[in-house]
Structure 1
């Protein structure tokens, strides 16, 4: 039961953090949910603690219980049922966090074509995509960058999109973050705005919108990036066909670049070329972690700096080569550049488990976010 709750509640914490960081629009509802969640958490913890204390008393009480003819199994069952009811209540409230997930679906997509200020590695992937696929004159083609969440797919696409050779080669470049479900009307508007760098005309007719897009790209070499394409059983093949149909009027050297977590993509995208994103090299991964742990500055105490870097290299070995984890854990450690704190992090046996590390990272959020959760009473 506790293991089930672990896989339930951690994603809800992620949703809470996402909701807080993105918008204050539903702050009051979020605060009420957090209060309920916190109360249920304390209640469940109290019940487990009580049960644990009773277990320690159980042995010396056994003979007395037998003499009194009290059914020990019945008492244990009562306690177990109370704990289960408490945990079920906690689980139910945790699932209410899905409301905020639905609300976040309505918010604007969050990726843009602008790459991070510092990028570690990915030069080989950028060069392969540009030289082997995008600058080739073999006709229209699509390239897919495939990798797990947080692996750096969007970063590679951003590097490609902004490379000088790509900018010079293509007449029009379009960036669209699909993220969740494809919406032909919405994403067509975004394609127009990305291509023109202007607000899309207020048209309510899809045919008219697609006409505007086709006029902008007709006979031109176009690069279209569909970032964070979600490919699952719910994907709508018909809508994807409608969305990409206007691209047919572009020059036959136009290209499409797709980032996604799975190779199971809509037929309309039909990428003939798939790049499976590899892990960063060890030195690149360490540099990424150190960048987020220290930024561009070093400590005045050279011994402390050296010790933290030594511990940091050991922590890196537990992060499973995940760039996301390097950023998350490195970012949280940057707030406590103390040898004791870093050693405590290193000694955590579960640090290499993504779910546990996410919780560990949550517990060390900056003051503003922690106060939102901790001050609710």
Structure 2
């Protein structure tokens, strides 16, 4: 099975195969006389599932049955991972025993291997998980899952055209960028590149369109070109596209990059040129050399030539050595004007004061994202029934699959495989909660998301992962504490959606999801120990892995941990009992938790 590890695997199968392929695991199977055919069957069935996983990850946003299938598959893999951990623990136990055993004891143990109670216990578990996985793989064709499909965007297109009457709150942004374009002292003799950065749905393309179509551009630049990059930043293709935008035919030498670039260079010689590259991703431009090869023809232009790049990822701005313009969310008043434009005839809510009250609450839930405001307003266009407005305002769509998810799902879709699971796990944090980088990295480590290897430690790898998620605007620095980070509410919704039933947050305001046998990660924020009885539902979550209290600043929460609860939660990997003031000693059941990797009992009487 070692050859499987090199394949492109889904993140929650990657670690699984690495464990199975280890020599210790294979040796254990042989020495304990476990059925070796189970390994081969497990390999085949998981590879069959892996073949459709990328497609399933993409389709889960729009197809309920695919989302359900994917959750069932993840649940089975979680169970399989627990079995592997049990085997790994048994391997370690046997190694320790061997160090202290006499030769006679080793002989007796070898004779009794076939009667090992661990084997009798673990083999039925493997067979059960295998049957579950096998059933799920057989279902993939019935729900339309295709092999070898996915991982590629359906293709996003944009144009330079924009309806200015639909834009609110971007005049200041527009003027700042226009000034950068018109200034003669931005970059000296170097090519000036301006990167507009922000999360999906924030209006980066719209702002670029406003600037591109500003009347001052016509008199200042000799040539303009707008190119939507999206999926494919191919130097040959991009050069050809720009030439066509400038009205130059490319048919005869269309595949000769040198001819194309020389022709473009001659066309731009001594001219001021404005180019907009919309929707550029880090996966498109991998290094500065690639960017330099593409941008060389622009350097023949006159001083003042400018390039605008819109992107969600700060690494793009670093590679192309640009001036960064970090786009912010809209102000409340501008959000309301935008909402009114799309929700009311003539954009005026004066005739409907009841609807305005509800509408302003809806706008608050959009958290300043223009796309969320616009699409929600469109849902209510010409609707005058108060009940319908209340239905939208109270809808579970805000906590589950909101209209903004189609815009944000591209950010998730293009995450590297190793980051997808790390990001989804962050749904354990409540909205508006600021977390520390070190805190999250410890959680990732306990869950086994960070690979062990050299030359970097797991902590250093976790730091790299964290920085990557920050650069993609999925994490943002806290405005209250520069040492902490948070997620925009709609990004939190995205994490919550892809995490699904596996994460549960016990909060003061209640939950739309329920604790169940699929729940693997739990966080809770309770001001009063009187609500501790809610933990009774945890008896359903026998596969729970994370038990995480959420502490607000300047609050110390006393926790009473039911002494009969922990023995039920044998799969826990992370337990945070910090500030449990009545916890004077660890329960005996801690010693029976084979999966535990992180235990925090700071600020307790222990």
What TM-score do the two structures reach when normalised by structure 2?
0.43
Q: 1:247 to 1:332 in 2, by over 3 A?
A: same
**Quick one: which of 128, 133, 142 aligns to 2:176?**
128
1:89-138 per-residue CA deviation (whole Å, 9 max, x = no partner) reads: 46995764983663724xxx51111123421111001101111x111112
Moved beyond 4 Å, runs of 4+: 7-11, 37-42, 81-95
Q: How far 1:148 moved relative to its partner?
A: 0.4
Tell me: higher relative CO, structure 1 or 2? Use CA pairs within 8 A at least 6 residues apart: 1
Does the 8 Å contact 1:210/1:246 carry over to 2? yes
Q: 1:252 to 1:297 in 2, by over 3 A?
A: closer
Q: How far 1:336 moved relative to its partner?
A: 4.4
The yes-or-no answer on 1:282 pairing with 2:332 is yes
Q: How far 1:12 moved relative to its partner?
A: 1.8
SS of the residue aligned with 1:181? coil
Give distance in 2, aligned partners of 1:346 and 1:216: 54
Give distance in 2, aligned partners of 1:209 and 1:276: 34
**Quick one: which of 153, 162, 170 aligns to 1:115?**
162
**Quick one: which of 217, 225, 230 aligns to 1:179?**
230
**Quick one: which of 375, 383, 388 aligns to 1:341?**
388
Q: How far 1:10 moved relative to its partner?
A: 8.1
Which one has a larger percent helix, Structure 1 or Structure 2? 1
Does the 8 Å contact 2:205/2:310 carry over to 1? yes
The yes-or-no answer on 1:164 pairing with 2:205 is no
Give distance in 2, aligned partners of 1:238 and 1:92: 46
The yes-or-no answer on 1:151 pairing with 2:199 is no
Q: What aligned pairs does 1:215-230 form with structure 2 within 5 A after superposition? A: 215-230=266-281
Q: How far 1:285 moved relative to its partner?
A: 0.8
Q: How far 1:144 moved relative to its partner?
A: 1.1
The yes-or-no answer on 1:356 pairing with 2:404 is no
Match of 1:324 in 2: 371
Please, which runs of 5 or more residues in structure 2 have no aligned partner?
Answer: 1-11, 13-53, 73-123, 407-606
Does the 8 Å contact 1:10/1:359 carry over to 2? no
Does the 8 Å contact 2:285/2:316 carry over to 1? no
Match of 1:314 in 2: 361
Q: How far 1:181 moved relative to its partner?
A: 3.0
Q: Which structure has the larger Rg?
A: 2
1:65-95 per-residue CA deviation (whole Å, 9 max, x = no partner) reads: xxxxxxxxx9xxx9xx879956994699576
Q: What aligned pairs does 1:1-377 form with structure 2 within 5 A after superposition? A: 11-12=58-59, 89=139, 93=143, 96=146, 99=149, 102=152, 104-105=154-155, 109-117=156-164, 118-131=166-179, 133-138=180-185, 139=188, 140-196=191-247, 200-202=250-252, 203-232=254-283, 235-265=286-316, 269-271=320-322, 273-294=323-344, 296=346, 305-334=352-381, 336-348=383-395, 351=398, 353=399, 356-358=401-403
Give distance in 2, aligned partners of 1:339 and 1:10: 37
Question: Greater shift after overlay, 245-254 or 85-94?
Answer: 85-94
Does the 8 Å contact 1:240/1:266 carry over to 2? no
